[in-house]
Structure 1
Amino acid sequence: MKLFLLLGSVNAFLSVALGAFGAHYLKQRIPDKIDVFQTGVQYHMIHAIALILIALLSDKLANSSMVNASGWAIFIGIILFSGSLYALSLTGLKVFGPITPLGGLSFLVGWILLAIAAYK
């Protein structure tokens, strides 16, 4: 599960970098959309840490295929949820709005799969 450690670390880095970008550059340029951008950053970091935890837990839980699926669902959630919020706030294009709930659903699936893996 080194892959999830790598994905989690890279995404944590990106979350910090994007958070700084938002706080120092975007805050004055898109003040009406900075909250949307910051929500993307917050969920991005939380789920980057989740990927790191999944990597660390993967050898501790017997059902590794379910843990693996959990990691992929959370990674997809980062792309869809946070990515759509970044795109929405930066472009103002409403077409990105309907993508966000799909990312949220992906997060939920990932957390449920991890819970099932822990239970089994």
Structure 2
Amino acid sequence: MSMTDWFNLIIAIGTVSLAVVASVYVRLKAKIDTKTAAGKAFDVVGKLAVWAVNEAEHSQDGGAAKREFAAKLISDQLKAKGITGIDEKMVYGAVETAWKEAIENVK
């Protein structure tokens, strides 16, 4: 395997793992220990994702543009709250999970 193949594999595994983390949040959000710093950050990202997805739904943009809009909203809010250490992949995973949950709630 070339270096590019390894890099793509690592990115794919990272993306899937972040989507799993976001999915776990959605299912266990009532049980997350918000007394720890990690629990608080995880809770904030999940709540921001749900909010950002709702806001993006009201924009005039299409699919990918809505995802970018929601991700930027989350990133801006995390910076405003002084929360660091949340990477772009986790934000996108949270957006995707919140979008899936929103779609399921509509059905």
Normalised by the length of structure 1, the TM-score is 0.30
Work out which of the two has the higher radius of gyration on C-alpha atoms and give 1 or 2. 1
RCO greater where, 1 or 2, for CA within 8 Å and sep 6 or more?
2
Counting helix residues as a fraction of each chain, which structure ranks higher?
1
